[in-house]
Chains A and B, each alone.
Chain A
C-alpha cells in the first residue's frame, strides 16, 4: 500500500490537539472527558502508525493497553460525574469550585 507514515501521523496529532483544546477550553465535565478520549485515541493512532511503519508489533500492542486505560479512566470518571451530579446538580466546571478559594 502506498500510504506513508506522515499520512497517519497528521490525523493522530490533530486528534491529540483537538482533545487538548477541548480539555482546556470546554466548560462541562462530559465534554472534557470526551476530549480526553480523543487525546488517548490520537496517541493510539500514533503508536500504531509507527508500529506499522517499522513493521514491529510492539507499538501496536501498546494500543491494547491504551484501550484498557481509556476504558478504566472513562468508567471511573463517569461514575464520579454521576455522583457529583447527584450532589451538586451540575456538571459545569464553572459551578464546581468547592475546592477553590
Chain B
C-alpha cells in the first residue's frame, strides 16, 4: 500500500511538472516545474532501485542543467509567456487525450514483445543489476568502452563550440542579422 502511494506521488510530480512546463507562464516558473519533473523522475528511478542513476539525475539535471537554464533565463529576462488562454486549454486537453490513449493502449502495444515473466522484477535472491553501482563501471569500461570515449569527445566538442559561439562578437561589433 505504501509502495503505491509513493509511486503515485512520484508519478504525479513527474507528470505534473512536465505539464507545468507547457502551461505555466514565465520562464522561471517553467524551469522550476521542470525541476519538479526531474525530481519525480529521480524518485521513479529510486523505485526501480536504480539508486546510483537517481543521484546522477539529481546532480546533472536538477543541478547542472537547471542552473544553466536559470542562468540563461536571468540573462534574457523573465518575461511573461504570451500563449493565449484558449491555446493552453487546447494543450491541456491534447495532453489528457494523449495520456488516455497511451494509458489504454500501452499494454496492448507491448503484449508481443514482453513476456509475462518480465513484467515484475527479477528474483530477489541477488540484488537487481541496476541497483549495484559497480555494474555500471564494469559495463562502461568493457562493453561500452567506445561509446564512452565518444561521449567524452562529444563533451569536449560541445565545450569548444560553446566558447566559439559565446566569444564571437565580443571584441568587435557585428552588424546583426536584422539588416539581412
Contacts and interface: CB of A to CB of B under 8 A. Distances in A.
B61 A41 contact: yes
- Interface residues of B, dominant DSSP: helix
A1 B4 CA distance: 11
Contacts, number: 235
A89 to B, nearest CB: 9
Nearest to A39: B18
A72 B155 contact: yes
A88 to B, nearest CB: 7
Nearest to B75: A82
Interface residues of B, number: 84
A83 B27 CA distance: 18
B22 A18 contact: yes
B106 A9 contact: yes
Interface in B91-126: 91, 94-95, 98-99, 102-103, 106-107, 110, 114, 118-122
Given A34-B69, A38-B18, A76-B165, A14 B99 contact: yes
A41 B83 CA distance: 25
Interface of B: 3, 7, 11, 14-15, 18-19, 21-22, 27, 30-31, 34, 37-38, 40-41, 44-45, 47-50, 53, 56-57, 60-61, 64-65, 68-69, 71-73, 75-76, 81-83, 87, 91, 94-95, 98-99, 102-103, 106-107, 110, 114, 118-122, 128-130, 135-136, 139-140, 143-144, 147, 151, 154-155, 157-159, 161-162, 165-166, 168-169, 174, 176-178, 180
